[in-house]
Amino acid sequence: MRYGSTRGGVSDLSFCDAVMMGLASDGGLLVPADIPDIREQLPEMASLGYTEIANRVMGCFIDDIPAADLEALIEKSYATFDDERVTPLVPVGDMQIMELFHGPTLAFKDVALQFLGNVFEYVLARDGGQLNILGATSGDTGSAAIAGVRGKENINIFIMFPDGRTSPLQERQMTTVLDDNVQNIAIEGSFDDCQSILKGVFADLEFKDRYQLGAVNSVNWARVLAQVVYYFAAWVQLGSPKAFQVAVPTGNFGNIFAGYIARRMGLPIDKLILATNENDILHRFFTTGRYERGSVHFTYSPAMDIQVSSNFERYLYYQFGQDASRVTGFMNEFLVHGSATVNFNTVNFDDAFATGCVSDEETLNTIVATYEATGYLLDPHTAVGVHVAASRRNPELPLVCMATAHPAKFDDVIRKGLPDTDITHPALEVLKDLPARKTQLPNDQDAVKAFIADHND
């Protein structure tokens, strides 16, 4: 399998080359040349466990890591999870919740970043060199990325997060990691500011090459690929139905884009139910065809407080028939004017998505109502998905709602509606008394570059 950029300036990369490049050097995102259709393999997959499914699915996209080595990387990555199913389904009322938070940092990002960290280590050991990872996080990506590479040789990691805009526990999951190869950077601004800095730094190709920069955000194809696996695992745990629906809370379009890839591979997903909070750029696009940046709203579901969804460009690439020039034109228009439009009357977009957006009040009400009816506690992001699914689902089909984080990571929000509920997790309780370290920097690309340089020269 070969990889190229959504904007046409990079082509014919291997999987490992794509992983190490992260963000394409032409400013686009790296995508596989083809999406294989594996529906004929589904009957065989119906009896497999998680790591076996992962080997089947990832093996379709990776041909430059020997099969035995890939199997070992996958086994190592998911040995850190506390459930043998890795991403278990739990029945809650008339739906199934897929718990994606059984990894080391209690968030769905672990599924991808445990794997990515091990791939980085494998490639560096095989090919030599050093890697400086630059990441931006609205909450969970940072701690999961740090957990994936802390203490690993020849890797440094620099994580930017919006100062004061993650939950206190999310920040402590990052800043209490004091390994020498870990640096946390609190940026004065929003997550979109952090993401803009990241893209700007990667666009400076001389700087990127000098400091061997790599990416852990979902701009890195390996993250999307690792997340494709649990959609197949959901189907298997459901009993391999002829069709099912999946509700996904999303801000950066990475998690749900993985579901879109699984659907194109032949997994019988009827609808992907896309759920956003008040930062509803994706809902507005699928409703009107207009992709328009707005002001960032800070909500009870902070990991989704995003107005520019990075992985959306990958989706456009496939919807535009893999026409890189058309993607480039759309994204340039968005960059210059803050908006760009697709005419659904002239562009035949597929019908993969149903969408909705949710207010903070609706989020909290969903948490309370679900708990009172079933005894199951949702985190705010998962509640967004559950709320939208209630009105957008087909009641004749099984429904899976992706649970993206353990509720204890957002105990301050949940207690607004359930003040007497015990919301804890041992892994989080130990963080409260640990020393922490972070560096505060202005919303300035040059300041971040200087910080990276200072920690390498």
In sequence order, the 6+-apart residues with CB closer than 8 A to the CB of 4 are 10, 11, 12, 13, 30, 31, 33
Pairing mode, strands 30-32 and 3-5: antiparallel
Say how far apart CA 301 and CA 276 lie, in whole Å. 9
- Residues forming beta bridges with residue 184, ordered by sequence position: 159
Nearest in space to 417 (alpha carbons), one of 358, 386, 372, 375:
372
Q: H or E segment at 31?
A: strand 30-32
Note if 449 is an active site residue. Answer: no
Q: String of b and e for 35-50 (b: at least 16 CB within 10 Å)?
A: beebeebbeebeeeeb
Q: What are phi and psi of 215, to 5 degrees?
A: -115, 140
Q: CA of 309: how far to CAs of 221, 256, 344, 443, in Å? A: 15, 11, 20, 19
Instruction: Give the position of tokens 């909705």.
Output: 356
In sequence order, the 6+-apart residues with CB closer than 8 A to the CB of 24 are 5, 6, 7, 9, 10, 30
The first and second tokens of residue 151, run together, are 């203490």
Strand, helix or coil at 35? coil
Nearest in space to 382 (alpha carbons), one of 437, 300, 457:
300
Nearest in space to 141 (alpha carbons), one of 160, 120, 128, 115:
160
Strand, helix or coil at 313? helix
Q: H or E segment at 246?
A: strand 244-249
The first and second tokens of residue 357, run together, are 């957006």
Catalytic residue among 109, 152, 208, 409: 109
CA 430 to chain centre: 26
Say how far apart CA 388 and CA 271 lie, in whole Å. 13
What residues are annotated to the active site?
A: 109
